[in-house]
Structure 1
């Protein structure tokens, strides 16, 4: 797969010839219809194309619920590196709470497409919302952490997950250091078994930003603790929110 950006003077014929694909494949894959008008700067999907040698590999992932439409998942998988399965909750005892819908089918499809399925861990309470009491209980109790690590390892191996994403939100300011220590310990354990750990972070505009979503998140500590960090800037706006009238 390759992405070609339309240049001045390009046509579907010239692009197809330069990328060694048929005009039919180019127009079909990009939903281009007669008279085949192109816009400079337009990005085109090239089936089976070879990327330039100097191109930096792009890490692309997406969160998905197990109730996602199968056709939507199949259409998206060719463009993903990882598929983040959302999500597994935790109990006060350190047991995992699996998604309400079965996720085996989407794990199978991801693996068939060469995409790595990632287990997303969230501190969801019985109401399905983030519960910072679960976070406090976990990060200050080594025995509960040990039980959670065992449950994670077993589940990830049995279900063939290839990585772990820790998505904890609304962390209390008093849990700031303990949460970073938990992520560090989890990463060390998971790395021993070949799993990479990502930590999802609320998007902050300053280190001292006030608010329940931000005060328990230390970018430096968490960046040092995990293999990869994700800034959830999508929290600044969602495509499905209602129209705002001014």
Structure 2
């Protein structure tokens, strides 16, 4: 664990970016209810190993930007670490002065990687996961929601056992896929009825426990734009239920550059609300292609 001293202009988002963590994690570690409590001088806990430092001697002509480039430290992070703003750097970065800069910020970040997998139930599932054993999550595609609120089972035992062997977190992917397409009316049938939503959630919780999943990934697609508030409610209900049992919740969403609530396909995704409710999300930025679709150029 490390300590960050809040400076003027800091936000939880900017602090999270410097240390490679999330706003949610900073709120949790520091028992903060909201982001309005930051004041200069406040000490915050941030995740990671204690920071070690190394000396750097300022050279003639050095600027914050040139030093950050030499040391491969983000300029904003270096500025906040040293307490030197770009406006005063010309006076403070005197040739010959020794600065103590963080070692940890120069190291590469570890990223989390998810892969979707359609398991066959055959030994080849284990062989496939062995070849990609560095991934973080494998999302089993898919547990299809049925109109009665139950889930179509998936033959994923081999893949789940292999994921455990290779220390990959298995996720249960829940979809409105009916075997041929992502079914708009099927999604509406589930989302429009609170008791039906709860029935789906109950079945998800049962499968999570029985099959040893680490979390659930929801991949509802081609929903009615008017079902946007209903989808928000479903994700909120599901999030409360799974986190109470220490499971993670993630979702797959279509990519967009602006929010158009009435747009087909994209309108149902309320980025702001959904982003607050999930632990992480997948933006489907792969040019609309999938294994059952037409050929596409590589990206």
TM, length-normalised to structure 2: 0.59
Any unmatched runs of 5+ in structure 1?
Answer: 1-50
Change in Cα spacing, 1:235 to 1:109, as seen in structure 2 (3 Å) is same
Residues 1:81 and 2:132 aligned together: no
The alpha-carbon deviation at position 208 of structure 1 amounts to 2.0
- Is the Cα–Cα contact under 8 Å of residues 190 and 196 in structure 1 kept in the other structure? yes
* Residue 117 (structure 1) aligns with: 170
Residue of structure 2 aligned with 1:95, choices 135, 150, 160: 150
**Alpha-carbon deviations, 1:126-155, whole Å to 9, x = none?**
x43211112111112111122112111111
**Larger deviation: 182-191 or 215-224?**
215-224
In structure 2, C-alpha distance between the alignment counterparts of 1:79 and 1:243, rounded to whole Å? 27
In structure 1, C-alpha distance between the alignment counterparts of 2:276 and 2:191, rounded to whole Å? 17
In structure 2, C-alpha distance between the alignment counterparts of 1:153 and 1:243, rounded to whole Å? 37
Residues 1:54 and 2:110 aligned together: no
* Residue 246 (structure 2) aligns with: 194
- Is the Cα–Cα contact under 8 Å of residues 181 and 225 in structure 1 kept in the other structure? no
Change in Cα spacing, 1:243 to 1:159, as seen in structure 2 (3 Å) is closer
* Residue 4 (structure 1) aligns with: none
- Specify the SS of the correspondent of 2:170: strand
Change in Cα spacing, 1:243 to 1:145, as seen in structure 2 (3 Å) is closer
- Is the Cα–Cα contact under 8 Å of residues 222 and 264 in structure 2 kept in the other structure? yes
Residues 1:176 and 2:224 aligned together: no
Q: Relative CO higher for 1 or 2, CA cutoff 8 Å, sep ≥ 6?
A: 1
- Specify the SS of the correspondent of 1:143: helix
- Is the Cα–Cα contact under 8 Å of residues 203 and 235 in structure 1 kept in the other structure? no
Report which of the two structures shows the higher radius of gyration computed on alpha carbons.
2
The alpha-carbon deviation at position 164 of structure 1 amounts to 0.4
- Is the Cα–Cα contact under 8 Å of residues 143 and 174 in structure 2 kept in the other structure? yes
Residue of structure 1 aligned with 2:158, choices 105, 123, 142: 105
In structure 1, C-alpha distance between the alignment counterparts of 2:169 and 2:295, rounded to whole Å? 33
* Residue 38 (structure 1) aligns with: none
The alpha-carbon deviation at position 194 of structure 1 amounts to 0.5
| Count of residue pairs brought into register by the alignment | 190
- Is the Cα–Cα contact under 8 Å of residues 87 and 122 in structure 1 kept in the other structure? yes
In structure 2, C-alpha distance between the alignment counterparts of 1:154 and 1:169, rounded to whole Å? 23
Change in Cα spacing, 1:238 to 1:170, as seen in structure 2 (3 Å) is closer
